[in-house]
Amino acid sequence: MKKKGCWILLLVAQWLLASYQVSVTISKNQATIADPLILKVIIKSPQPVRKVQLTQTDPSYEILKEGDLRARQLDQNWVVEKDLTIGFFRLGEFTVGPFEVTLYDGQGQELGTLSTRSIPVSVQSALEGETDIRDLKDPLHIGGNPLYVLKYVLLALLVAALAILGVWWFRRRQRRRGEPPAEELSPLAEFEQRIHRLKKKQLFEKGQKKTFSLELYRIIKCFLGRTYGVNAPDLTSTETIDFLSRVENLERLKEDFTFLFQNCDLIKFARFNLPEDLYQEVMQRLQGVIGVYRQRAREAAAKADGEER
């Protein structure tokens, strides 16, 4: 009895599978590299098929485009079609398929799996035999020497270069005419300007005390050189102080410059850490020095006015 039931189930399964049919065709069996081929899968089913899944292990082609599923009813059956655009990117003899085609209904339930036949495809080179690319027709002969136009090209480049130089020279001349001659700052004005820029850099506040002392040292040396007509940058601190003791009568100035040079040398050579209070005294002494030379400038201007009158 059990044997009889198994035979009945087997016959029913064979009948159901026989009611499903699948076939596959290709647009052509000979192609060239990257030549698009249309692979068409046609399925005959007794009930609607909403999804088709094709499986092939290790395909030798690339799927370039996959079309939508098309279904139509024919008598008591459904005919479902699906197009795939494929391409080969290697030369040789290949096989498309066989495919395992799995069918699904509208609810995603699997209806069954069918197998297709394989299709041979030959992929050949687009070149003629094994030769390289050749001209479709003979090259057109053009008479004359191509170097004939070279002199005209060089002449055009020369004219363009002269035009650019002329525009540049004209603009530069116009700028020079429009700019008033720059007046040289007096030694005191330059000294005040450089001290102001040094304070604005905030080197002491940033912890760059050695850089601060080096810049201050150079500013003071430049000011003394311009004021007294001496090559102060080539003198040491001691030589500069000795020079001031001979040419300067005001003791306050001698003391202030001595204090400034000594502290600059301590920071430069002895790695002295300039404290906040000493930094403030340095800035006060600089203001005192500037005040003395301002007073002298005013007295000199007043004396010059008196002599003119």
When mean pLDDT is compared across 134-138, 146-150, 210-214, the lowest value belongs to 134-138
From 35-39, 51-55, 92-96, 162-166, the region with the lowest mean pLDDT: 51-55
Angle, CA 166 vertex, CA 161 and CA 169 arms, to 5°? 125
Q: Answer whether 233's CB lies under 8 Å from 222's CB.
A: yes
- Size (the chain), residues: 309
Q: Summarize the confidence of residues 220-225 as an average pLDDT.
A: 89
Contact indicator for 63, 24 with CB cutoff of 8 Å: no
Q: Write the DSSP string, the chain.
A: -HHHHHHHHHHHHHHHHHH-EEEEEES-SEEETT--EEEEEEEEESS---EEEEE-SS-SSEEEEEPPPEEEEETTEEEEEEEEEEE--S-EEEEE---EEEEE-TTS-EEEEEE---EEEEEE-SSSTT-----SSPPPP--S-GGGGHHHHHHHHHHHHHHHHHHHHHHHHHHHHHSPPPPPPPHHHHHHHHHHHHHHHTTTTTT-HHHHHHHHHHHHHHHHHHHHTS-GGGS-HHHHHHHHHHH---HHHHHHHHHHHHHHHHHHHS-----HHHHHHHHHHHHHHHHHHHHHHHHHHHHHHHHH-
What is the arithmetic mean of pLDDT over 145-155?
77
Mean pLDDT along residues 21-44? 82
pLDDT tens-digit series, residues 227-266? 888 888 888 888 888 888 888 888 888 888 888 888 888 8
What rounded mean pLDDT belongs to the chain?
Answer: 79
Which one, of 75, 63, 9, lies nearest residue 36 by Cα? 63
User: Does the pLDDT at position 13 exceed 50?
Assistant: no
Answer whether the bond into residue 187 is a cis peptide, omega within 30°: no
Alpha-carbon gap, residue 245 to 248, rounded angstroms: 6
Write down the architecture of domain 18-124 according to CATH.
Sandwich (2.60)
Domain spans of the chain? 18-124, 187-308
- At residue 17 the predicted structure's pLDDT band, cuts being 50, 70 and 90, is very low
The confidence band for 179, taking pLDDT boundaries of 50, 70 and 90, is low
Print burial letters for 232-241: b (CB count within 10 Å at least 16), e (below 16). beebebeebb
The answer on pLDDT for 169 being more than 80 is yes
Q: Name the residue with tokens 């005919």.
A: 79
